[in-house]
Structure 1
Amino acid sequence: MIFSLTRLKKLANLQTIADEKIFQAINDLGFEVESTKKLNQVSGIKFGKVLQVYPNPDADNLQVCKIIFNDKERIIQTRAKNVVAGKYIMAFVPGSKSGDITFAAKKMQNIVSEGMLVSLNELGFDENLIPHELQGGIFVFDEEVDLNSDPLDIFELDDYLVDIKILTNRSDANSYLIMANELAAYFGQKYSLPDFKTSGFISDVKFLDNNYGKLSGVEAKVVDNLKINDLLLILKSGIKIFYSPVDLTNFVLLYSGQPCHVYNKSDIQGMLKLELVNQKANIFGNKAVDVISALAVRDDHKTLSFAGIIGIEELKVTTNKDLVFEIANFDSSLIRQSMKELKIQNQSANQSSKNLSQGSQLLAHIVLNNYIKEISQPINFEYLHQEKLINFSKTKLEEFIGHKLDEKRYQQSITNMQILGFVYKNEAFIPPFYRYDVNIFEDLVEEFMRFYGYNNITSYLQAQKPFIVNKNDFISQLKSQIVALGFAEINTFTLTDKNSNEFNPFDLQTTQLATFLSQDLIQIRHSLAISASAALIYNQKRKISSLSFFEIAMISEEQQSLVLASTEFDFFDIKNILLNIFNLEFKFLRAQKYLHPGKSALIYIDKQLVGWIGQPHPQFKFAEATYCEINLTIIEKLLNYSFKFNNYNNQSLVIRDVTISLQEKQSIEYFVEEVKKIPGFFAINIKDSAIINSQQKVTFKITFESTFLEVWNNFLQKFN
């Protein structure tokens, strides 16, 4: 959608904020600035009031205009025929500029012309969108202005047009009121939507709802023309102006994001309703159409408009009295079908084809309420905001994202969300009435992070700090144990992209956020290994090859998981680590689907899947390493919250290689059993095996606690 930067800044009270900071804020909020364009290169123009108009006696096509300005009277000549006494104009007076052109007084057919009158085309507007009476003519108007004021300021002509790409699930943000609210919240500026007034006369117009959509509206006795700066706002959006109540419907669309249509009350016979029609018709612009199954707004006898798209030519509004405004949400699939049949794609149709909430209808009612003086009470519209209370606390958020949050920034982000219309009380949020896309805790997380900023969270590898272990805390003891084994803790983002999230070893349901900042952060991850692999790759690119990471965090379906990822420990090492840490009867079964079939195993307790170990299938392109992921949610339940760890020395483990020679038919079992009896034993694995001079030699990798280093050195000397 194309926005006026000047209008956005005025609505959000951000006039002192630099334009570039506004553009950056839009991107930070999860939208995308696709382009910016200066409306014009005009400066120095003035307001004037026409006092007299007469033909130049020496020219057939020149009109001499006597005009009063704030500083003096001037004579300006023009070929336009629409300039008459009593009208207001804008003019390029001597010294004013348009691009590289500087205007000066010039003699034309024996009369000095002190400048040039301004047309809308010269101000940067598309002539095809201008009413016929102004095409090729001067922009004249009746609205009284202070001649001392600057037209560029009063009519918002010193402006940038900003093309903003809106997320498909944020149709509400295709509106000035909501986009301004977003910006106000980002900069911490107070903002409130206009009040909704339900007072007024009671209309006798009736609307009927059905499966095709929700119809509502208002009746208006008299509708005043929009002010000039609002008409120009419509032109800036690429929408034609008509100098009729139709302009107000387009203004409602731009301000609220809700399509709106207007009818002559005298044309309505019976109740308004939605129907699928097969008919020929002449739509606005006197264009003939023939539709087979298009959605239409009808009364008891005829089609009044094609729903949300365009009206009927012979029924177009030509007066500003006794009008009915329709505000409706339609079945979006039927709107798209109607657009194809009509071969029309305008801004109203595009918005009608999206999922709009009852909150968008309320915004449209608010806009009409604030622009029409003699207006009825809402027809067939009783807004009942179903408040969704979603629990949200700092503790839960930190647990979810796996990061400690700065308290000051956390509180500021809560304030930002409150400016946006979120109600926060008792560690729970109620979303604004227009936000149908915020339904679960995960949606709130993404909303919160738009203001807190992902850049303010350190990812991947954090500095190691001593753990303060609560003896009764399962997770704290587990972390302490794993750190003692030589693993470094990482903290990574809970969200990931759609492609990476295809790795789903626990077969969890996919949770996709309705609101997201980028395609890289769109779904709650199915596995911590996705993030662990990214951390490995991040460090490997920096020439760090010996890596052992772990993370404990939540994944989809609120499953708490532990992941180990290492380039130093192999499958058997991590298997032994797992067995020694938990001391449970794990069963390792052949892996399928998501895991490398020759290098991985699924981990069961009884018949319940509790984890996996090894390497993901090559199709997922994970970092080359050994991984293990355990469902701690299940493990804690199995252990009945009474899990006890053996006391561990927090020093790093020691690894030694030893080679033994086997006699013919001799087994390695005797050696393995002897090793396991030595104090401090942790793990033993076969590293290599070879036959040299008809004798088999086997190399073992032995891991033991450093506290018993002297005992082990004495034992290993026997084999060296």
Structure 2
Amino acid sequence: MLVSYKWLKKYIQIEDLTAEEIAEQLTRSGVEVDIVTPMNKGVKNIVAGKVVACEKHPEADKLNVCQVDIGEEELAQIVCGAANVGKDQYVVVAKVGARLPGGMKIKRAKLRGQVSEGMICSLQELGFEGKLVPKEYAEGIYQFPTAVTPGEDVIPLLNLDDHVLELDLTPNRSDCLSMLGVAYEIGAILGREVTLPEVKEVESTIEAAGTVAVSVEAKDDCPYYGAMIIKDVTISPSPLWLQTTLMAAGIRPINNVVDVTNYVLLEYGQPLHAFDLERFGSKEVLVRRAFEGEKIMTLDGAERTLSAEHLVITNGKEPVALAGVMGGANSEVQQDTTTILLEAAYFSGITVRKASRDLGLRSDASARFEKGVDPNRVKEAGLRAAAMISELAGGTVVSDVTEYDALDRGEKEVTISLAKINDLLGTAIDTVTVKTIFNKLQFAAKEDNDIFHISVPTRRQDIAIEADVIEEVARLYGYDNIPATLSYTATTPGGLTELQAKKRKVRRFLESVGIHEAVNYSLTTAEKESLFEKRSAERIKLALPMSEERSTLRTTLLPHLLDALSYNKNRGILNVALYEIGGVFHTNEAALTTQPSEKTYLSGAFMGLWYEHAWQGEKKPVDFFVVKGIVEGLLEELAIDADVRFDQAEVTGLHPGRTACLKVNGKSVGVIGQLHPNTAKAWSLPETYVFELDFHQLADQDEKVVRYAPIPRFPAMDRDIALVVDENVKAEEVEQVIHELGGDLLKHVALFDLYQGEHLESGKKSLAFSLRYQDPEKTLTDEEVTVVHEKVLVGLEERIGATLRS
């Protein structure tokens, strides 16, 4: 909603406040003002002029030499290239030394040998948007519709001394889609009275030829329809004040009749429509639902096919308007119109919204009907428009308002206690203050023992329940005056849940090691997931998907992460590491009769280099052990107190020899591995590694209790051993045996070498371990270490057949 500051001053006394101060007050009360735009974009020294003479330039066919009266002793000679310039026109002149938008300065010049002392301007050259300029002046110079005084400053004439406030309204504040609504809002904030426009009584000459019949079939869709006939109108450009007012509000002037309906639309928030009665086709108005497949040509020149859910205005036979959205081209007010049928009606917001959405047609009228208009302003707006048309177009009203009226104009009643207001806001506002706020809002309120019985004016369609009233009290009391309190009770303490805290910890860890978070849709395709999971019966398909690519609830996060990797690779970004924490959806039944279970998964995908040092020429590509190390670090970060193992596994979609299953206390909680070459080919990816973990299972594990130990005072002794074992023996098994046999003195075991090949028997391999012995109470001797070490070697040979490599 664009609000003209000058126009606003007609309804409320705000001369002591600037437009910026008004904007600040509105924003602080909950009606956000995005920007305040001055209409004057740097224009100065611009005056009105009269073209006294206009002749063709002797040296240029497309130029004219004009003698212009600009209120000075001598006429100013101006060379003008506009095709529509002519004698006796009243025009806008930028004098020598004038400034135009963008800092352009007008200087005395010579054009093809003729002196030019200024410039005759178009509205676009003064900073008006082209889409708001009247069509007849879309090209060429602007001409005043009536005589003006040569030399008069045009800045106030063209409303360039105005400021426009752009309101960013929430859907519930439909009352502020009108100048009166904004005036009421400012009046409530400042505690000032609103001056309503005077609706002049129009002397109607009741004529038999002026009667019109109104009937409504769709009574729920149109509880009120009023019509008036105005004859002998003269269609012409609107007065300058009306044109500039509409342009400031973002509406292009058209003619005096249409401009009046738009003016009242902005003033009252009530859409109106004017039909050319002769083109209307009859003196019968019938409001009904459209027939299935019925067509109408709307004012924008498009033919639209209607359905039985759309509401139309007809002449008894054919549609002449799409109710509440747009008029029809067959009854449009045109230059030769002399008699109009003026409509003021109340249409159901749901019906208007459905038509607007179905037909892809949104208008200023539909935006207001959708959100709700004031039922008590409908007829008043029609009378206001009729009076203005009579004044500006010379029309004569030849009928009373013919109407169908079943409209509920009753006010809503809301009851609320002072205690409820203060409890919800955390304040200690007294009764007098609350009553003052209701008086400022012009809400009729009766108070009885701190219980308020409020009658809400119909202009405030958004006030219906206690919470709405409390919001109004908070806005007018001032959000800055509400004390900051901690929302805390004995039963609902604030803070993160345990799961939220662990999610945050995981994000911090993964981002600290250089992995970026991805956020994807929860919808995918069965085809992509089939590369990782073959059981299509367990996928949940949408009944009405928005697209084929978003037709199935995901059961894994990996396809979306691979999409992201592929997207980056196709744009030359080859080193990418991503992770995502998100929901997946599983079910065990082909025909859904119960809700699917939602689980939280943590997944990652990696391709390219993990580390690169350009200066030293050092490059570390991502491999299985990089990803395994990240997952191990993640488990350490979560302090999981459980038996954690990585077992070789075969998983659909992953490389059979480079995949491991993560088990916690013997239960599988995720996988790590390289993409199978066929899977990588499906996404056109290079060697890519992934992990996917069931986050809920990890988060449910007990955390290790942190225990601190003193720094060892006595030195440790290291022994290295190279063991020859069968090639099917896992290093993990050997390490477990070493730990068991080493007892309390063995503090650390690490594998540092694997060897197979020459000097070893076929089917054998060599595993080299480093063992560290240490006693916290004394310095170990070689003899003590040797005893334990020999025990380890003997035990390894007895249990797994390991021998020392010679």
- TM-score, normalised on structure 1? 0.59
> 1:397 deviation in Å?
5.0
Partner of 1:607: none
Partner of 2:633: none
Partner of 2:463: 438
Does structure 1 residue 351 correspond to structure 2 residue 364? no
Partner of 1:41: 42
Give 1 or 2 for the bigger CA radius of gyration: 2
Aligned partner letter, 2:361: I
Partner of 2:345: 328
Partner of 2:531: none
Aligned partner letter, 1:280: K
> 1:273 deviation in Å?
1.5
> 1:138 deviation in Å?
0.8
Does structure 1 residue 275 correspond to structure 2 residue 300? no
Distance 1:143 1:179 in 2: 32
The superposition leaves residues 359-414 of structure 1 with CA deviations (integer Å, 9 ceiling, x where unpaired) of: 35245335415523344543316687424455678677557755333688656534
Aligned partner letter, 1:260: L
Q: 1:74 is matched with which residue: 69, 73, 76?
A: 76
Q: 1:458 is matched with which residue: 469, 483, 505?
A: 483
Distance 1:381 1:400, change over 3 A: farther
Partner of 1:130: 133
The superposition leaves residues 206-235 of structure 1 with CA deviations (integer Å, 9 ceiling, x where unpaired) of: 322323223223332355753223223333
Distance 1:370 1:528 in 2: 61
The alignment-based identity, stated in percent, is 26
> 1:323 deviation in Å?
0.7
Which residues of 2 match residues 281-320 of structure 1 at below 5 A?
Answer: 281-293=296-308, 294-318=310-334, 319=336
Which residues of 2 match residues 336-375 of structure 1 at below 5 A?
Answer: 336-362=353-379, 364-365=381-382, 367-373=384-390, 374-375=396-397
Distance 1:186 1:151, change over 3 A: farther
Distance 1:304 1:96, change over 3 A: same
Partner of 1:212: 221
Distance 1:409 1:94 in 2: 59
Distance 1:235 1:46, change over 3 A: same
Distance 2:233 2:474 in 1: 43
Partner of 1:472: none
Higher mean C-alpha deviation, range 191-200 or range 20-29: 191-200
Does structure 1 residue 258 correspond to structure 2 residue 270? yes
Do the aligned residues in 1 keep the contact of 2:51 with 2:67 (CA within 8 Å)?
A: yes
Q: CA RMSD in A?
A: 3.4
Distance 1:129 1:46 in 2: 21
Do the aligned residues in 2 keep the contact of 1:219 with 1:325 (CA within 8 Å)?
A: yes
Which residues of 2 match residues 397-408 of structure 1 at below 5 A?
Answer: 397-398=421-422, 401=425, 403-405=427-429
Which residues of 2 match residues 446-525 of structure 1 at below 5 A?
Answer: 446-460=471-485
Distance 2:490 2:70 in 1: 73
Do the aligned residues in 2 keep the contact of 1:26 with 1:32 (CA within 8 Å)?
A: yes
> 1:34 deviation in Å?
2.9
Distance 1:10 1:155, change over 3 A: farther
> 1:140 deviation in Å?
0.4
Distance 2:494 2:203 in 1: 63
Partner of 1:239: 251
Distance 1:436 1:366, change over 3 A: farther
> 1:274 deviation in Å?
2.8
Aligned partner letter, 1:379: T
Distance 1:32 1:158 in 2: 23
The superposition leaves residues 62-114 of structure 1 with CA deviations (integer Å, 9 ceiling, x where unpaired) of: 22222222344322221123233333221111121112111122222333222
Distance 2:26 2:492 in 1: 28
Aligned partner letter, 2:428: K
Aligned partner letter, 2:245: L
Distance 2:419 2:233 in 1: 53
Find the residue that maps to 2:294 and give its secondary structure. Answer: strand
> 1:298 deviation in Å?
0.7
> 1:59 deviation in Å?
2.4
Tell me how many residue pairs correspond in the alignment: 470
Find the residue that maps to 2:376 and give its secondary structure. Answer: helix
> 1:197 deviation in Å?
5.5
> 1:134 deviation in Å?
1.2
Distance 2:172 2:360 in 1: 25
Distance 1:413 1:154, change over 3 A: farther
Aligned partner letter, 1:97: R
Distance 1:423 1:146 in 2: 50
Distance 1:164 1:9 in 2: 17
The superposition leaves residues 265-308 of structure 1 with CA deviations (integer Å, 9 ceiling, x where unpaired) of: 22241233132232233322433333344432111121111122
> 1:327 deviation in Å?
2.0
Distance 1:366 1:30, change over 3 A: farther
> 1:528 deviation in Å?
6.5
- TM-score, normalised on structure 2? 0.53
Unaligned runs of 5+ in 1: 462-491, 493-526, 535-617, 619-720
Distance 1:181 1:320 in 2: 37
Distance 1:362 1:441 in 2: 30
Distance 2:466 2:7 in 1: 34
Distance 1:450 1:145 in 2: 46
Distance 1:193 1:320, change over 3 A: farther
Partner of 1:52: 53
Do the aligned residues in 2 keep the contact of 1:104 with 1:115 (CA within 8 Å)?
A: yes
Does structure 1 residue 157 correspond to structure 2 residue 160? yes
Do the aligned residues in 1 keep the contact of 2:51 with 2:87 (CA within 8 Å)?
A: yes
Which residues of 2 match residues 702-713 of structure 1 at below 5 A?
Answer: none
Distance 1:286 1:177 in 2: 33
Find the residue that maps to 2:290 and give its secondary structure. Answer: strand
Unaligned runs of 5+ in 2: 391-395, 496-695, 697-806
Distance 1:308 1:300 in 2: 18
Do the aligned residues in 2 keep the contact of 1:197 with 1:369 (CA within 8 Å)?
A: no
> 1:311 deviation in Å?
2.4
The superposition leaves residues 191-214 of structure 1 with CA deviations (integer Å, 9 ceiling, x where unpaired) of: 222244566435512322323223
> 1:46 deviation in Å?
0.9
Aligned partner letter, 1:211: D
Distance 1:301 1:324, change over 3 A: same
Partner of 1:104: 107
Which residues of 2 match residues 592-603 of structure 1 at below 5 A?
Answer: none
Do the aligned residues in 1 keep the contact of 2:299 with 2:329 (CA within 8 Å)?
A: yes
Distance 1:341 1:308, change over 3 A: same
Find the residue that maps to 1:65 and give its secondary structure. Answer: strand
Distance 2:174 2:89 in 1: 40
Find the residue that maps to 2:82 and give its secondary structure. Answer: coil
Do the aligned residues in 2 keep the contact of 1:252 with 1:367 (CA within 8 Å)?
A: yes
Q: 1:189 is matched with which residue: 184, 189, 192?
A: 192
Does structure 1 residue 221 correspond to structure 2 residue 231? yes
